[in-house]
Amino acid sequence: MTGRIPVKPLRVGIIGAGGHANSHFRMITDEEEMDLVAVAELDPERLQNALDTYGPFECFADYETMLQRCDLEVVYVITMPGHLTEIVLTCLDRGLHTSIEKPPGMSSFDTERLLEASKRSQGKAIVSLNRRYMPQILAAKTLLVEHGGAVQVAANYNKPITRLGTTAMAGIAPAPIICDAIHHVDLLRWLSGSKLEEAGDPAAVFAQSWLGEREGSFRYNALMDFENGCRGVMMSHYGVGYRIQKIEAHAEDLSIYMDLTGKPNCRVFLKGVENETQLDLESVGGSEYNETRHFVGCIRQDRDPWSSLDDILKTMRLCEDIANGASSEMSH
């Protein structure tokens, strides 16, 4: 009697065990085709907390020692943008499949360096823009594509004051639209795409970028055109009253409103009537689908991730144009 030959789990290492790493730890340890074998973190307390919660695995105080001693296949680089580029370059030069925390560097110049390294590498690279892989987003995008593609997409991404963009973060993190609100700039691109697996390419952006009186109170408004004819609106303000993340997308006879502030909540309207039918999550991988599961599939099947460096370079350039208050065709 024959059956499927068991596939060994991919041997995974993580570089960086700060707050952003927790979701990655959970996805990796929940993924049966991955085996977390090593973590590198400078802060001993963070490393111990990760070991207590997600161990056992080998612990290292520096990532280079981990890369030298462990026979890894996949590495997750989850550091601040100012520290990220050289680490990712090292991983790609070793031929490792590499998951890159957003944003992929301090600027599009850094992203270009990573892209060139990925072209030389035997490893695949994915940028961790996780909204693309949310089952609710994928199911909503499926509806948009079925109705001929989005004609209008819009996003709000607001927060109280953070340290992003302040003097304390100089050289560590870029402006918030690049470091943080990139999530929804990229989501606008993703939902505007004419196919499920494609993002829309920006053609022009008309943006306002200004500062409030307090340090860190960044304000952004942007209108954008995509090459396929879809239009987009982005509003992101820091130093306001609450963390709000909302998306809306419209196609012929279809309107979708999504609140991503907490657990995703979606309302769908067809021809003026609210559709009470739940989104079809099973058709897009199920309710537990995520970027890690997608990355495993890309590695196993030798295909490019949806959020490849090549594609996310376009998102980085769009974010920079918004940050610079561009009012013309794309400047890059």
Q: Write out the chain's pLDDT in tens, 332 residues.
A: 445 567 899 999 999 999 999 999 999 999 999 999 999 999 999 999 999 999 999 999 999 999 999 999 999 999 999 999 999 999 999 999 999 999 999 999 999 999 999 999 999 999 999 999 999 999 999 999 999 999 999 999 999 999 998 999 999 999 999 999 999 999 999 999 999 999 999 999 999 999 999 999 999 999 999 999 999 999 999 999 999 999 999 999 999 999 999 999 999 999 999 998 889 999 999 999 999 999 999 999 999 999 999 999 999 999 999 999 988 766 55
CATH 3.30.160.100 fits 10-130, yes or no: no
Q: How far apart are CA 246 and CA 266, in angstroms?
A: 10
Nearest Cα to 80, choosing from 177, 217, 181, 174?
Answer: 174
- Spatial distance between the Cα atoms of 104 and 178, rounded to a whole number of angstroms: 10
Residue 21: alpha-carbon gap to chain centroid = 13
- Give the C-alpha separation, 249 to 191, whole Å: 7
What token pair was written down for 52? 């207590």
Tell me if domain 10-130 and domain 134-286+308-329 are identical in fold. Answer: no
Collapse the DSSP code of 280 into the 3-class scheme (helix H, G, I; strand E, B; otherwise coil) and give the result: coil
The pTM for the full model equals: 0.95
Kindly state the tokens that stand for 299.
Answer: 């590695």
What are the extents of the domains in the chain?
A: 10-130, 134-286+308-329
Q: Compute the distance between CA of residue 75 and CA of residue 10 in angstroms, rounded to an integer.
A: 10
The CA dihedral of 100, 104, 110, 111, to the nearest 10 degrees, is 90
Domain 134-286+308-329 homologous superfamily, CATH: Dihydrodipicolinate Reductase; domain 2 (3.30.360.10)
* Cα 39 from chain centroid (whole Å): 21
